[in-house]
Amino acid sequence: MTRNFSLNGIPGPDVAAYYRRRAEGGVGLIITEGTIINHPASAADHNVPRFFGEDALNGWAHIVNEVHGGLTAMGVSPDWSTHLIEHAVSAVHDIPHGGGIAIIAPHWMEHVAAIRPEKVAQFGVRVFDLDRTGKTDHQLAAEAIQSLKEFWKSIGAPTKLSDYGIDDKEIELMTERAMLADQIGSYVPLTREDVRRILRNSL
């Protein structure tokens, strides 16, 4: 069985939304529709999703992220852009996902805090038990980011991409790999330039 809704074999945002709705509805096991392999006789319809080629595989990566968001959201709209950025880094440089997140997350939070400081302030209060008294959201957000950096340091987590020997030579490739759409993320949608800046700040 297949749905034939992937234009030219590339599963797009509408396909990702279809699978996400199933995850949000509480489905515990999601088996994808039929896909095309890299063989001329594998399908007669060009709108069956391919499971080969960078364009189609990027579409499937977006579906996986949407399903993860649907399973973990529990009624809240999560933001997985840090994971998309880190997946791009580890795809190019083969570093551990947790280490990449430790490096990227504070710089992503700095970007978010400049636009929606209340989200980062909320994180600081809920995770680090920060005291709100007499502080603006901007002040509390800055304190939350610093608390996160100190926590990573206290457990020996990496703090910059250069800890893994990564420099700026592959910034453009990593940026391109992270951008599964014109914008990624939900709290503060990120443009290609935003992702490029977050990666540079993470060096």
Q: Contact, 200 vs 162, CB < 8 A?
A: no
Examine the fold and report which residue of 44, 73, 102 is the final residue of a domain before the chain moves on.
73
Examine the fold and report which residue of 49, 73, 97 is the final residue of a domain before the chain moves on.
73
In tens, the pLDDT along 26-67 reads 666 778 888 888 888 888 888 899 988 888 888 887 787 777
Nearest to 100 by CA among 113, 111, 85, 78: 85
* Same domain membership, residue 95 and residue 151: yes
* Same domain membership, residue 145 and residue 189: yes
Task: Give domain status of residue 113, yes or no.
Answer: yes
Residue 115 lies in domain:
81-201
* Same domain membership, residue 94 and residue 69: no
Whether pTM exceeds 0.85: no
Number of independent structural domains in the chain: 2
In tens, the pLDDT along 136-165 reads 999 999 999 999 999 999 999 999 999 999
Residue 154, burial from CB neighbour count under 10 angstroms (0-12, 13-18, 19+): exposed
